[in-house]
Structure 1
Amino acid sequence: MERCVIPAGLFCLKLCRASSRWCWWRHLRARRSAIVAGLCFVYLLFAVLQVSPSSADGKRGIGTVPLRRHGGQNTHETPAPTRSNVVYITLRSKRHKPAVIRATVKPKSRRKKARTLAKHDAQAHGGNGRHEQDAWAPKRTNTSEPWTQIIHQALALYRAGHVEDGTDYPGSSIRIYSQKPPPWLSQEDMAHMRFLANSKVRQLERLQPEGSPAILLFKGAAQANSDPSECRGGCGVIKSPVDMSEVFAFHLDRVLGLNRSLPTVSRRFRALDSQLCPVTLWDPSISAVSGQLTWSSYQTSLKNKCWQRGAPKPEWNCSSIHHYEWSKVALFDFLLQIHQRLDQNCCGFRPRPEDSCVVLGYHGKCGVVDNVELSTIVHRRRDPHHLVFINNKGFFDRDEENLDFRLLEGIKELPDVAVGVLSSQRLREKLLQSLFLDQLYWDSQGGRQGIEKLIDVIERRAKVLLRYVNAHGVKVMPMNT
């Protein structure tokens, strides 16, 4: 048997090849391990750099939510409530400034004039801050000297017979492209809107109620030379252009099913330098509610639910207004932030320095609110139990963090129809359909884009109101009286 002899050179060559393969495989695993370790180190370093600033800032743990800023300071303790009737919580990452919306903010150049007029008005009433107002007279006056001069010029032109004002549109400025108006507007509403927008002005008259600002009244052909007390459905009240939000208020009232506001449209008058003005239907049967209504007596009437269960007791000192009417006006005023009726002293929010309640000294009396009188609480003489909403100038430039919750104080029930519209996600659709009818107002606000901004404000306030209803257990019930 022969032996197989392997030469030494060949053996060494094979041994070297095997050793090189083993070394290459060992170094490859080492390099992979080194790459993985390096990646882990970079990831840990990045995570430490991200966590360190948040831990140093207030030493909050991961997953904590920063508290909302109040007045520019971080409050990490339980804040003391500024109003006893607000219990819901709103978390915000940053403070949003309110949008500047057309016809809601007075130009800065007019502040000095408005303040001068307010001081003059205070001196004319004895400087005591108390006004014996007519039913149609607003507590907050925004008329300026140029507007007053325009009124005087218009009166002179009409009296001289140089102007016979009619519509400046080739057709009606109230547009409707269907056989029927929206269901929340009656045929009577549409007739009044067309009259206010298109009727010829045969007479212009300035009424000056005792102790109240002047009212500019226009009369149609059928009511010319008639007494204002006999002018039913044929006269309109022309207001200053800064009160243009009253047009929006009328449509909001109808969409919510309240039906307490008077028809209001926008219109241009050649004698008034063709300025766009809100025009409201004149109703001579409207008068102030008899008796003195103070904040204290108002809260007492809410507790006693006057007229809800028949005639009230004499010791309750109730007015003629039904209990449900206060719920309707509170909801309406909160959405539009109309404070003149229930909070003329601006005690429920932070007013601006140029606001009349500050200029006339009303805001300084918030410490004794029980004797503060309610303003513009009116009804029709033939219907004493129901309110009429007049002087409905709304404020769209007030932030959600500065809403007047005093308007809701003492309110335990709200109308189901209005709350149903607010929670049905159809408020925007209905307001767009309704406001589209008034072409002049629609165009003056910048078309649909401008109208959408106004509706945005109302929708945000509606969400706040619905949270308030849930937090305070406010009842939603039918109010068809």
Structure 2
Amino acid sequence: MAQRPWRRTGLKHPSLVALVVLLALALLALTYLPSLPTGDHGRAPLPHVAPTPASLPLAPRPRRDVAITPCGDKPPNQGTKRRRGEGRRLRERGAPSPSPCVEQPCRWGGSPQEDRLCFGGTIPPWLSEDDIQKMKLLAHGQVVSKSRVPAHGQVLRVRLHADGDTKPASPEEDCGDGRCGLIKRPTDLYEVVAFHLDRVLGLNRSLPAVARRFSSPILPYSYTNGAPRPLIWWAPDIQHLEDTNNDQNSCALGWLQYQEMLRSHSVAPVAGNTACASIQRGEWGRLALFDFLLQDPKNLLQVHDRLDRYCCGFEPDASEPCMEEMLHEKCRNPSELVLVHILVRRSTPSRLVFIDNAGRPQQPEAKLNFRLLQGIDSFPETAVAMLRSGCLGRRLLKSLYMDQELWESQGGAAGLRPLLQVLERRGQILLRYLQEHNLTVVRDTPR
């Protein structure tokens, strides 16, 4: 029998020839394929593996090309083109990535007017036109005179002259025209944060405030050493009691009287005390909510000083003013307790004015002062809705970016974010309190 051709060539089987040809073609094709993308350490990434049913998320994840903006804010990076590799180069140089919650149309290093305030053509809706005008006056106004404030050794009242004023600057004029401000201590910068918090929550009871560095030769050196200080707008028509020992009130109101007023849903039963009688009942809910978010008994200037200046709602440290001044002992006799900084303006006597908002919210949750909420059975609708929305920190970050002096001094978004997280956490604790006590919300009164 003649041998078959495949045996004479030494091959064991025709299929082996085909296999060798296929392998050669495959190797040739691989040399022309693009290289696989590598991970951070030069290794090819692992293929995506679908999660098992036990690890599936509770809700489907949004597609990457869908912008989720529950706060109604501008989607991150919308309208902004970044060159390839730019983000990596910024990280390598140690520069923080731009915050997706803050529009940044302004650039640091321009004129002084641009550096102090940054609106960039977009003004947050929670800041009114009147707020903007007062902020511009405080940030840019020339200091033309100064005066001390009685009983406030480290506070200066200054008169300001803004560009475009028709009247010439006159140091002799008083502050009745609304052209003055109070310069406070560098440690009181939190008053600027409190102003923006007030506006974001829709309370609208704090006075406009900005952070500013001063260089005027008429100011003491301690005010011009380069440290930013808060400058608070001076409201010329705030009503004060004639009693020099109690001039930080528009009306005299004791704790028991205040609680009875809240229980009876009426005004304070004080004969001839028209200032207290004119305050709308909903104002106390605004004040309690604001002070609860800002409280911090660890600092010398305390927001709880309005409703609980005696520290009756928590156990104070021995070094705190309410202990050093022996105020805490009066907690045993509630009839001796009074409220302070209860102020109204003659132009709007039905609304409270929030001043001295320099507390710093660093108090541990176990020591929060719930006495500030005692007797309050309803809270303002807009503020509660903002706390529930989860947008408080996001909106507040945008608002604070308007004040470039504050933004820069606090380290920008990275430096401010821990503080905003504390405020958001306080808001959640307050919402839980509302739910546990079955409290209600009320319609807001006009600005």
TM-score (norm. length: structure 1): 0.60
Change (3 A) 1:466 1:205: same
Residue of 224, 228, 232 corresponding to 1:280 = 232
Which has the higher mean CA deviation after the structures are superposed, 199-208 or 394-403?
199-208
- CA RMSD of superposed structures (Å): 2.4
| Runs of at least 5 residues in structure 2 that lack an aligned partner in the other structure | 1-109, 162-167, 216-220, 241-248, 296-302
Mapped partners of 2:122, 2:414: distance in 1? 26
Change (3 A) 1:393 1:387: same
- Report the alpha carbon displacement of residue 480 of structure 1 after superposing the two structures with TM: 1.7
- Report the alpha carbon displacement of residue 283 of structure 1 after superposing the two structures with TM: 1.1
Is the CA contact (8 Å cut-off) linking 1:304 and 1:316 kept in structure 2?
no
Residue of 220, 224, 240 corresponding to 2:185 = 240
Matched residues, percent identical? 41
The answer for the alignment partner of 2:256 in structure 1 is 296
Mapped partners of 2:146, 2:250: distance in 1? 30
Q: How does 1:94-243 map to 2 (within 5 A)?
A: 169=112, 171-177=114-120, 179-208=121-150, 213=153, 215-221=155-161, 222=168, 224-230=170-176, 232-243=177-188
Residue of 398, 405, 414 corresponding to 2:370 = 405
SS in 2 for 1:287: coil
Residue of 320, 345, 364 corresponding to 2:278 = 320
- Report the alpha carbon displacement of residue 219 of structure 1 after superposing the two structures with TM: 1.1
Which has the higher mean CA deviation after the structures are superposed, 447-456 or 314-323?
314-323
Query: Is 2:436 the counterpart of 1:471?
Result: yes
The answer for the alignment partner of 1:388 in structure 2 is 353
Change (3 A) 1:341 1:168: farther
Mapped partners of 1:224, 1:351: distance in 2? 47
Mapped partners of 1:471, 1:250: distance in 2? 29
Q: How does 1:323-472 map to 2 (within 5 A)?
A: 323-337=281-295, 338-472=303-437
Q: Deviations over 1:313-369 (max 9, x none)?
A: 979996321101001000000000120100001111222322211111111221112
Residue of 192, 200, 210 corresponding to 1:265 = 210
- Report the alpha carbon displacement of residue 197 of structure 1 after superposing the two structures with TM: 1.1
Change (3 A) 1:229 1:408: same
Amino acid at match of 1:440: E
Change (3 A) 1:400 1:283: same
Mapped partners of 2:317, 2:173: distance in 1? 41
Amino acid at match of 1:298: Y
Change (3 A) 1:197 1:212: closer
How many residue pairs get aligned? The number is: 308
SS in 2 for 1:249: helix
Change (3 A) 1:471 1:218: same
SS in 2 for 1:275: coil
Mapped partners of 2:189, 2:327: distance in 1? 25
Amino acid at match of 2:229: C
Larger helix proportion of the pair: 1
Larger RCO: Structure 1 or Structure 2 (Cα < 8 Å, ≥ 6 residues apart)?
A: 1
Mapped partners of 1:427, 1:360: distance in 2? 37
Residue of 201, 210, 228 corresponding to 1:256 = 201
TM-score (norm. length: structure 2): 0.65
| Runs of at least 5 residues in structure 1 that lack an aligned partner in the other structure | 1-166
